[in-house]
Amino acid sequence: MSNPRSDSLPTNAKPFHYDLLIKTDLEKLHVNGYVAIHLDIENDTNSLTFNSAKILITSVSVDYPDVGVQQIDLSRLTFDKDLEQASLTLPTAIKKGTKAVLIIPFKYRMTNKSKGYYYSTYKIKGQDYRFSVTKFEPIAARRAFPCWDEPALKATFDISMISKESTDVFSNTWSIFDSKITSESTPGPHFFEDGIVDGWKITKFERTPAISTHLVQLANGTFKQFESSLVLSSGKTCPITVYPPKDFEGMLRYIAKDIKVAYLYVHSPSTWAYALSLLWYII
């Protein structure tokens, strides 16, 4: 009898940093993305296997040590839908102890299922509104971007989001840059296949601490906000912001109070200290 296949990824490469750029189109329900995954090579290898599900990968490149970026033919990329894994056979092996970068542009259509990066709707006076949020626990980050989607494989993230200028975007950390996109500043044709850049902006966020992929947060929509703060057991003051859809702000103060109580219970001194500089909650 053959042994059952393992869901675990090979250990020949481990990510230590992600550069992630996500464009959210809430009207067309399309996502265009780009991820550069920085890898420590643990063993000599001629293949890289990562998690990916329900995503169309449009090209693949590898930045080799001492060689530079090489685009890899997509015929070298195979998928296992049951394991939600993609395997890339490399034309040139990578040596143990070096670093490499796996570069993947991708796209997909959002669904309203509460898994991955999804959209939700609400009504105000008979009119439908949309917003998008993430639910990656336990292993659904792979539905939002190609990654090493295992909780033990922590990495830092530099996250940027492209969105309509009239909407708000949020991630794990504070935004550090926000700018209107012009034809001179577009991040590339992959993100604007129709050639229209008017009305879009790009927002960049502070680098995260090393976190698991299921802790990455993305959100886009039009929200109100209520700001409060919480003094942690370490003495650090953590800002808390609650974002309901517009016209739902009447419940804000009560929700923020409940969040504080729950947070203090879960993150007591006997557990672990909160590592980020802010805490937000979308309802």
Tell me, yes or no, whether 169 and 246 share the same domain. Answer: no
For residues 209 and 241, membership in a common domain is answered with: no
Give the lowest-confidence range in 30-39, 179-188, 207-216: 179-188
Q: Which residues contact 107 (CB under 8 A, 6 or more apart)?
A: 30, 31, 32, 33, 55, 56, 58, 190
On whether residue 26 sits in a domain, the answer given is: yes
Number of domains in the chain: 2
The CATH number of whichever domain residue 140 belongs to comes to: 2.60.40.1730
Q: Contact, 18 vs 156, CB < 8 A?
A: yes
Domain boundary among 195, 219, 243: 219
pTM score, whole prediction: 0.87
When pLDDT is averaged across residues 14-25 and rounded to a whole number, the result is 98
pLDDT at 266 over 60: no
Contact 179, 185 (CB under 8 A): yes
Domain boundary residue, one of 163, 192, 219: 219
Looking at the fold, whether 168 and 247 belong to one and the same domain comes out as no
Domain containing residue 138:
13-219
Q: Note the pLDDT tens digit of each residue in 72-124.
A: 999 999 999 999 999 999 999 999 999 999 999 999 999 999 999 999 998 87
pLDDT in tens, 187-224: 888 899 888 899 999 999 999 999 999 999 999 998 77
Residue 163 resides in a domain: yes
Q: Which of 166, 189, 219 is the last residue of a domain?
A: 219
